[in-house]
Amino acid sequence: MNLKKERKKIDQLDLLLLKTMAQRIKIAATIQAEKRKLGLPQTDQKREQEILTKIRRLAKQQKIDPKLASSIIKKIIAEGKRSHKLKNPNH
């Protein structure tokens, strides 16, 4: 095994994860703006539970700890909400 080569792969995956996370947060902001236009609640607990259930199932399929996966997604969801509140303090 070439350690340097394997670390480069990890670096590339880390970048992909960050880009994907940024994209997810951006899409969530678009959804929040649309909800605001429609007068819908900004938080949808049912949808969040559906996402977490799906993430736990997918994590098991990928042999990843479901608690770890759901914890990460919860943090990403929370960051999306925090970011939205900072940009839209009146909502």
The domain segmentation of the chain, as residue ranges, is 3-87
More confident residue, 82 or 74: 74
What whole-number distance in Å separates Cα of residue 84 and Cα of residue 81? 5
Task: DSSP letter for 89, please.
Answer: T
Q: Which of 49, 52, 82, 50 is nearest to 68 (CA)?
A: 52
Fold topology of 3-87: Chorismate Mutase Domain, subunit A (1.20.59)
Q: What is the pLDDT of residue 82?
A: 80
Q: What is the pLDDT of residue 79?
A: 86
Q: What is the pLDDT of residue 91?
A: 57
pLDDT tens digits for 19-74?
999 999 889 889 988 998 999 998 899 999 999 999 999 999 999 999 999 999 99
Burial of residue 32 (number of CB atoms within 10 Å: 0-12, 13-18, 19+): buried
Contact 27, 36 (CB under 8 A): no
Averaged over 79-85, what is the pLDDT?
77
Q: What is the pLDDT of residue 90?
A: 67
Averaged over 73-79, what is the pLDDT?
91
Q: Tokens 């943090």 sit at which residue?
A: 75
83, 48, 19, 6: CA torsion to nearest 10: 130
Averaged over 11-26, what is the pLDDT?
94
